Amino acid sequence: MTENTPLSPPPRRTLSARARWAVPAVVAVGVGVAFAAPPLLASADSSGLPPVTPEELVAAVASAEPQALSGTVVYTARLGLPSLPFGPETADPVNLLDGSSTLRVWTDGGERSRVALLGDMSEFSVVHDGPEAWTYASSGDEVVHYTVSDADRARYESMKDEATSGRAAGQVPGGADLPTPAEAASQVLDRAEQFSDVSLDAESTVAGRGAYQLVVTPKTPGTLVARVVVAIDAKTDTPLRVQVWSTKDAQTPALEVGFTDVTFATPSDSVLAFSAPAGASVTEKVVTLPTDEQIAADHAKAASGTGLPEGVTVSGTGWATVVQATGVDGPALVAGDPSALADAPSGRPTIGSESAQGLLDQFGPQDGGGPASKFQGIDPATLYDSLTTKVPQGHLISSALLSVLITDDGRVLAGAVPPETLQAMA
Amino acid sequence: MSHAEVMVQAPAQVRGAFGRLLRSELRLVLGRRRNLVLLSGLAAVPLLLGLVLFLTRDTDLDGQGPGFVGKVTENGIFLVVASIFVCLPFLLPLTIGIASGDAVAGEASAGTLRYLLVVPVARTRLLVVKALAALAFAGSAVLAIAVVGLVTGAAFFGLHDVVLLSGDTVPLGVGAVRIAGVVAYVALSMTGLVAVGLFYSTLTEVPVGAMAATVVTAIVSGVLDTLPALSAIHPGLLTHHWLDFAEFLRIEPDWRVVAGGLGVQAAWVAVFATLAWARFTTADVSS
């Protein structure tokens, strides 16, 4: 094109114009391959694990020592909930209700751990160090420090000496149980056999590690949960990922929490320690440890099934359980008014996924602060109407895994069942 | 015919010619009045932000604001991060778009490009020099914000030990290194945009067109980044990883995140730099 102009490229360069334009094309293809190849290679390399039976796998998980590890956990909820009227910019536990969240997890396998929920420019941390625990929200520079009283502390120390397994240490107040897949999976497996079929799926790769996949399928058709898939690391028997599939969506799991990368090594001491930064607002909370008698009584209640608070009834079994409670003021509850729950049961509905439940318990609002305060300036009744669907029996919140029906006479029905079941019961 | 033969001879390889060309180009870009005004404009941001926060620090507004703005009154060093955060969505892309979009198109528009080429300078070498000068300008733009932010923050609020996002406190020296990491990451995050601007600049003789197209690219990328329906392409977007500079302020920076962000920039640089090269070395330069 420019061969005869004085300004053409010098002749010693032999590349034609076409060859020159081929260079960016080749580079573009190379870049595409470089970004697409690693995930493809990783998923291809997932064979050759020794065969196991589901029973062996569950036993191995149950007996596995808690591992010291650090890693990144991605939690994704596709519950089909109406979107909340505030953005996901800051690291706030309420964002775990929907969408994707990234957490960093460090634990020494015992009683020291740190979990950080990452936001773009913010972080919400939960640090658990023996009998103490802290939460820190970077957006408000707020620290909550949980401690136990001196007497309880002495008792805790003796308990710790007795129970070196780490299981008992997991009961430490402060609620700093790790929302790792490990905790979630062991609970799922405990209940699995009674109401579900347990089988093994094809081996998979999670966080670059070969993993077995345990599939728990509910026996009853009357639930929204299609199946729960737990991926278990072949080497350490640590659960690496939990997926909960809804009957409404066969393509993607409704809830997914799993490691995207994990390192099995004890984290550095500085990560597992915490002290409140200067200038932060610190709230001190003393937690009372339950006494041995209380624990025994709770176990007895749970065993006999009479442990429910007043006003709460449970119907159905297993996956199709429906919890019914009376005396709840719907709009006030949505507005984040804790008094709306004053006469409501303390028993929470099981939402089919213990992992999500654990996360909600972990990061749930304390004292109606946190998420609720974001609703300031929004009319609770309007918000209530926009979040719920009006049905003849009252108001319905329907999601991929959980249905909640709030009747006009103040009853709440909840369960991992189709909304029609609740409406029929109301 | 002798005329043409003289003209198509390879440029003579003179020692130090590249360095001289680069020096002259840097003098041109960094000394141009328009670019100095742009740099002063960027440098005014931390000054203004610091002044506003200083004047309102005893009111109810103290400690409020997005990103790191709320932390500035406690520790002046955060004015660096807060200013970068404020400039990142628009002011920095605008400044860099103007400089890189002007690189080749400006010469073409002024009619000086062909004189440069008959000096004679090989086109590839000229493009490299133009790219380096645009990169230097991008770097000085980020640096201007950082330096003025540091000085202003230190003067108004003092420098203290740095509280990380995780609530842990690190000594001022360690904190300063981390904030230097933020500045370096943001500066490197601009390289993709410089490459895009350089490519646009080789397409046209109208500098304003190339500048606008560069800024529009950054803005469109930012808009696409907010659409959940396009989440599949988000990780590859030019602007998606810009805010990952917060990684340097977490307790244990995850270097995979940092490397991922820089890798995406490298990919954009590779594609658009070669596009610019292919275009510039085959184009018919007539002005």
> Confidence band (pLDDT; 50, 70, 90) for B1?
very low
Contact A125 B166 (CB under 8 A): yes
Two tokens at A288? 């009372």
3-state secondary structure of B270: helix
> Confidence band (pLDDT; 50, 70, 90) for B38?
very high
Which pLDDT value is given to residue B94?
Answer: 95
Burial class (CB in 10 A: 0-12, 13-18, 19+), A155: middle
Amino acid at B129: V
B-contacting residues in A 215-274 (Cβ below 8 Å): 261, 268, 270-271, 274
Poorest-pLDDT segment among A247-256, A316-325, A356-365, B19-28: A356-365
Question: At which residue do the structure tokens 């799926």 appear?
Answer: A201
Distance from CA of B123 to the nearest CA of A (A): 7
**From CA A203, how far away is CA A235, in angstroms rounded?**
13
Question: Are A245 and A256 contacting, i.e. CB atoms less than 8 angstroms apart?
Answer: no
Asked whether residue A162 carries a pLDDT value surpassing 70, the answer given is no
The full DSSP string for A43-70 is HH----PPP--HHHHHHHHHHPPPPPEE
Highest mean pLDDT of the ranges A283-287, B99-103, B121-125: B99-103
Return the number of other C-beta atoms located less than 10 Å from residue A182's C-beta.
25
Which pLDDT value is given to residue A302?
Answer: 64
Return the number of other C-beta atoms located less than 10 Å from residue A226's C-beta.
19
Asked whether residue A345 carries a pLDDT value surpassing 70, the answer given is no
**From CA A20, how far away is CA B264, in angstroms rounded?**
23
Asked whether residue B231 carries a pLDDT value surpassing 90, the answer given is no
Question: At which residue do the structure tokens 């990952």 appear?
Answer: B244
Q: Which residue has the higher pLDDT, A9 or B91?
A: B91
Asked whether residue A412 carries a pLDDT value surpassing 90, the answer given is no
Question: At which residue do the structure tokens 């080789």 appear?
Answer: B202
Question: Are B287 and B205 contacting, i.e. CB atoms less than 8 angstroms apart?
Answer: yes
A220 φ/ψ angles, rounded to the nearest 5 degrees: -85, 140
What is the residue-averaged pLDDT of chain B?
A: 88
CA A287 to chain centre: 24
Two tokens at B56? 């309102």
Return the number of other C-beta atoms located less than 10 Å from residue A189's C-beta.
24
Contact B63 A136 (CB under 8 A): no
> Confidence band (pLDDT; 50, 70, 90) for A248?
confident
Question: Are B138 and B78 contacting, i.e. CB atoms less than 8 angstroms apart?
Answer: no
Poorest-pLDDT segment among A18-32, A348-362, B203-217: A348-362
Contacts of A8 (CB under 8 A, 6+ apart): A2, B8
Contacts of A47 (CB under 8 A, 6+ apart): A203
Domain that holds residue B79: 16-282
Poorest-pLDDT segment among A136-145, A194-203, A372-381: A372-381
Question: At which residue do the structure tokens 């190339």 appear?
Answer: B210
Contact A72 B284 (CB under 8 A): no
Contacts of B176 (CB under 8 A, 6+ apart): B77, B162
CA-to-CA dists, residue A138 to A220, B159, B163, B170, angstroms = 45, 19, 9, 15
> Confidence band (pLDDT; 50, 70, 90) for A351?
very low
Asked whether residue A285 carries a pLDDT value surpassing 70, the answer given is yes
> Confidence band (pLDDT; 50, 70, 90) for A44?
low
Poorest-pLDDT segment among A27-36, A121-130, A293-302, B239-248: A293-302
Q: A27 to chain B: which residues are within 8 Å by CB?
A: 270-271, 274
Count each helix (H run) and each strand (E run) in chain A, helices first: 11, 18
Q: B70 to chain A: which residues are within 8 Å by CB?
A: 141
Contacts of A229 (CB under 8 A, 6+ apart): A201, A213, A214, A215, A216, A241, A242, A243, A245, A253
Distance from CA of B231 to the nearest CA of A (A): 11
Q: Which residue has the higher pLDDT, A1 or B93?
A: B93
Which pLDDT value is given to residue A341?
Answer: 47
**From CA A134, how far away is CA A145, in angstroms rounded?**
5
Asked whether residue A424 carries a pLDDT value surpassing 60, the answer given is yes
Which pLDDT value is given to residue A189?
Answer: 63
Q: How many domains does chain B have?
A: 1
With CA atoms as reference, report the closest residue to A113 among A104, A121, A123: A104
Distance from CA of B275 to the nearest CA of A (A): 5
Residue B166 lies in a domain: yes
Asked whether residue A206 carries a pLDDT value surpassing 50, the answer given is yes
Q: A118 to chain B: which residues are within 8 Å by CB?
A: 250
Contacts of A314 (CB under 8 A, 6+ apart): A308, A321, A322, A323, A324
Q: What percent of chain B has pLDDT over 70?
A: 93
Asked whether residue A393 carries a pLDDT value surpassing 50, the answer given is yes
Which pLDDT value is given to residue A370?
Answer: 40
Angle, vertex CA A156, rays to CA A152 and CA A159, nearest 5? 140
Asked whether residue A200 carries a pLDDT value surpassing 70, the answer given is yes
- Does A34 contact chain B (CB < 8 Å)? yes
CB pairs < 8 Å spanning A and B: 122
With CA atoms as reference, report the closest residue to B73 among A91, A119, A279: A279
3-state secondary structure of B84: helix
Two tokens at A298? 């709770």
A84 φ/ψ angles, rounded to the nearest 5 degrees: -85, 150
Strand order in the sheet with A196-206: A196-206, A209-218, A225-233, A239-246, A255-263, A69-77, A99-107, A112-118, A123-129, A132-137, A142-148, A281-287
Residue B169 lies in a domain: yes
Q: Which residue has the higher pLDDT, A381 or A418?
A: A418
Question: At which residue do the structure tokens 């608070």 appear?
Answer: A309
Contact B167 A120 (CB under 8 A): no
Contact B274 A27 (CB under 8 A): yes
Q: List A199's β-bridge partners, or say none.
A: A215
Between strands A142-148 and A196-206, the pairing is unpaired
Which pLDDT value is given to residue B193?
Answer: 96
Q: What is the DSSP letter of A253?
A: -
Residue B6 lies in a domain: no
**From CA B198, how far away is CA B273, in angstroms rounded?**
7
> Confidence band (pLDDT; 50, 70, 90) for A328?
low
Closest residue on chain B to A99 (Cα): B228
Residue B1 lies in a domain: no
Asked whether residue A239 carries a pLDDT value surpassing 60, the answer given is yes
Q: What is the dihedral of CA A345, A185, A315, A199, to 10 degrees?
A: 170
The full DSSP string for A175-239 is -----SHHHHHHHHHHHHHHHEEEEEEEEEEETTEEEEEEEEEES-SSSSEEEEEEEEETTT--E
**B275 closest CB neighbour out of A12, A24, A106:** A24
Q: Could you tell me the residue ranges of all domains in chain A? A: 1-44, 299-425
Two tokens at A309? 């608070």
Question: Are A221 and A209 contacting, i.e. CB atoms less than 8 angstroms apart?
Answer: no
Which pLDDT value is given to residue B7?
Answer: 44
Instruction: Write the pLDDT tens digit of every residue in A60-91.
Output: 777 777 889 999 999 888 887 765 554 445 66
Asked whether residue B62 carries a pLDDT value surpassing 80, the answer given is no
Q: B277 to chain A: which residues are within 8 Å by CB?
A: 20, 23-24
Residue B3 lies in a domain: no
Which of B1-37 are b and which e, b meaning 16 or more Cβ less than 10 Å from the residue's Cβ? Answer: eeeeeeebeebeeeeeeeeebbeebbeebeeeeebee
Instruction: Write the pLDDT tens digit of every residue in B170-212.
Output: 999 999 999 999 999 999 999 999 999 999 999 998 999 999 9
Closest residue on chain B to A22 (Cα): B278
Asked whether residue B40 carries a pLDDT value surpassing 70, the answer given is yes
Contact B236 A5 (CB under 8 A): no
What is the residue-averaged pLDDT of chain A?
A: 74
Amino acid at A118: L
Average pLDDT for residues A267-281, to the nearest whole number? 87
Question: Are A312 and A325 contacting, i.e. CB atoms less than 8 angstroms apart?
Answer: yes
Closest residue on chain A to B63 (Cα): A140
**From CA A12, how far away is CA A361, in angstroms rounded?**
72
Poorest-pLDDT segment among A79-93, A136-150, B52-66, B134-148: A79-93
**From CA B44, how far away is CA B22, in angstroms rounded?**
29
Two tokens at B86? 């404020």
Question: Are B173 and B160 contacting, i.e. CB atoms less than 8 angstroms apart?
Answer: no
Asked whether residue B134 carries a pLDDT value surpassing 70, the answer given is yes
Angle, vertex CA A73, rays to CA A126 and CA A166, nearest 5? 55
With CA atoms as reference, report the closest residue to B17 among B136, B118, B126: B126
Which of B86-110 are b and which e, b meaning 16 or more Cβ less than 10 Å from the residue's Cβ? Answer: bbbeebbbbbbbbbbbbbbbbbbbe
